[in-house]
Structure 1
């Protein structure tokens, strides 16, 4: 992990619009980045992925991870870079044996299926994740102050879904039946995950991440009341442990529960600087609901990017007008409501970036 002495070698930030929006400070335009912006929709990503030989070959090699993190910034005027990695690096380092089955996505060789395995679960030795922190420092250096770098992790609940199911799931039958049958064991997993995620994000911050995001991809699969107890409470534990100041700079924290629109006020109260929204939420209404407690990030339906330039521009305008003019104490970061589809035409992202920047400038007028 980098000491603060190596931090001081990072170039000063030239474009801090993204960080200012997260901290609800005035900006000249609405900043933009995209979830999965370094990904399969880019031919150059596919070329690097082929050279790396496998997804994990890409994610665990700091040179490759740096290369793909920077690729979208070479093409588009995005306002932030996000570390190229995978949320499942943490459970992998806990000894669950991550592998990728062709066409099936991520799997674990040793999922948490019995009480003994769950009781034996411990937060990982962060040295096993050194490749992530090396990548963070390398990306930050290569960015040379162009835009800020976002670090990230899965949420305790979302990681637990994969750890118990042993991979992705349509119905979360195994993890939810454990939750209802043995809440004590579920809480043990989640507490372990919360400590692991906090330590992991703090190590990314120490290595050079300038903002961090917690992805709660599967929080929206939970019943009301259960969500608060088994997902939100543990994200709050993570947020409370984060290092929010590094080298005199504030490190903003974003939390995102996909499908969490009903719980917006509660999510806004856990101490994060910004809340991510999926496309089912009305952005203007969300702003009214949270007042000036947090900045908002989102929330264009990724499928708009298949509809052509006119539709992209119209939907961007609609979203920006719905949020309204950022006033004192409000902030908006433009993003999609979920990750960008691998089938997206690269030109659509150029149209999107231009529309967000131009229309948001004009609306500030």
Structure 2
């Protein structure tokens, strides 16, 4: 068993396993070279060979302890016929979803077939990785995915999503249920294809009004994990409810994740003191600190390692690595983590 999986099972490793969110991406020239061969991003994600190749690139270059399959949280809305496309210098665009009646529940039956290329990429990647390198599958959490569907893309204030949450709770719940079921299908597909662990990204959890957090963030995640377990999926699940602060405590208590990803805004001393001692945590270096890679970054790494020294810990960033990050600074971070103990 890899050190990454041992950590997720609750074992403290002498040197914490390390990987980075978005580790296969634009900061790597080898990624950009392959990416340029397929202008359409969705088509790129659905090309099993290319997705597998870029997944492996950071493992070859840096020797990370885990790979994460190259895909996107918007693959679920794509499978639900929301016309997902990516506009250069703009980001994702979708056909805005006006109401629950505009989303056909019958589309759920086609999700495994439409997303089968992601499973194929996982199977191919798992066959190419060494046994001591874990492979992570992932999906976006329902709320985060829904915001893109309702807003028609990225948003600063999530106005339309919050309006539906407050003003049309029945419609909101209907969409949430369909997205939750699609997410279960997607994660089951990845688990059966060979993913060693799964991660649930709730990147916009901080936008949920606290009054609704249990129903919108915690309950759907708990439903997903319970459904996975009911179907015999035993792979550990890492939850990442970004930006919810003290809300991580009921999240952990209610959801049933095997590990918790911490964003860089989280007070790690408070988290370590208040989270269950057995719970593995992942994180939480600010990805912007990698732009300079200076002694302050190294001191922050030492602080993170020190605070989590007596609990299972996976070293990671507090969010995805930025495209402008110098390669040398990633190497510097990895070397420092592995030599610090």
Asked if TM exceeds 0.5, the reply is: yes
Residue 337 of structure 1 corresponds to which residue in structure 2? 318
Deviation at 1:286, TM superposition (A): 0.9
1:198-209 maps to which residues of 2 (within 5 A)?
A: 198-209=184-195
Corresponding position: 1:263 with 2:247: yes
1:26 paired to 2:12: yes
CA contact (8 A) 1:245 1:251 kept: no
Q: 2:32 & 2:64 partners in 1: Cα distance?
A: 20
SS of the equivalent of 1:81 reads strand
8 Å CA contact 1:205, 1:243 repeated in 2: no
User: What is the CA–CA distance in structure 2 between the aligned matches of 1:293 and 1:198, rounded to whole Å?
Assistant: 26
Task: Return the offset for 1:157.
Answer: 0.6
- In the other structure, the counterpart of 1:213 is 199
Equivalence map 1:173-184=2 (5 Å): 173-184=159-170
User: CA offsets, 1:293-352, max 9 Å, x none?
Assistant: 5211111111110223423321110111122x22xxx31111100100011001111011
The answer on whether the counterparts of 1:267 and 1:275 sit within 8 Å (CA) in structure 2 is no
Alignment of 1:112-191 (within 5 A): 112-118=97-103, 120=105, 122-125=107-110, 126-191=112-177
Per the TM alignment, residue 115 of structure 1 is displaced from its structure 2 partner at its CA by 4.2
Q: CA RMSD, aligned part only?
A: 1.8
| CA distance 1:321–1:229, shift in 2 (3 Å) | same
Answering whether residue 251 of structure 2 is matched by residue 277 of structure 1, we say no
Inter-partner Cα distance in structure 2 for 1:242 and 1:104: 35
Deviation above 6 Å: which 4+ runs of structure 1? 244-247
The whole-number CA distance in structure 2 between the counterparts of 1:268 and 1:115 is: 30
How far apart are residue 194 of structure 1 and its match?
Answer: 1.2
Alpha-carbon separation, structure 1, partners of 2:285 and 2:76: 29
What TM-score, normalized to structure 1?
A: 0.89
The CA distance in 2 between the partners of 1:244 and 1:356, in whole Å, is: 37
Separation of aligned partners in 2, 1:181 and 1:119: 21
Report the CA distance shift for 1:180/1:95 in structure 2 as closer, same or farther (over 3 A). Answer: same
Supply the distance in 2 between the matched residues of 1:102 and 1:23 (Cα, whole angstroms): 41
| Counterpart Cα distance in 2 of 1:342 and 1:244 | 39
Quick one: structure 1 residues 97 and 119, their matched pair in 2 at CA, closer, same or farther if it must change by over 3 Å? closer
Tell me how far 1:226 sits from its aligned partner.
1.1
Separation in 2 of the partners of 1:32 and 1:162? 30
Superposed displacement of residue 142, structure 1:
1.1
Residue of structure 1 equivalent to 2:292: 307
How does 1:214-253 map onto structure 2 within 5 Å? 214-243=200-229, 250-253=234-237
Q: 2:282, 2:132 → 1: CA distance?
A: 21
Is 1:56 matched up with 2:42?
Answer: yes
Q: Is 90-99 or 19-28 further displaced after alignment?
A: 19-28
- The one of 322, 325, 332 equivalent to 2:307 is 322
SS in 1 for 2:36: helix
Q: CA deviation at 1:172?
A: 0.7
Structure 2 CA distance for partners of 1:129 and 1:301, relative to 1, 3 Å:
same
The TM-score normalised by the length of structure 2 is 0.95
| Matched positions, count | 339
Change (3 A) 1:121 1:244: closer
1:112-158: per-residue Cα shift (whole Å, max 9, x none)?
Answer: 10342146574251101111100010010111424010000000111
SS of 2:108 mapped into structure 1: coil
Q: State the distance in 2 between where 1:332 and 1:49 align.
A: 33
SS at match of 2:324: coil
Aligned position for 1:102 = 88
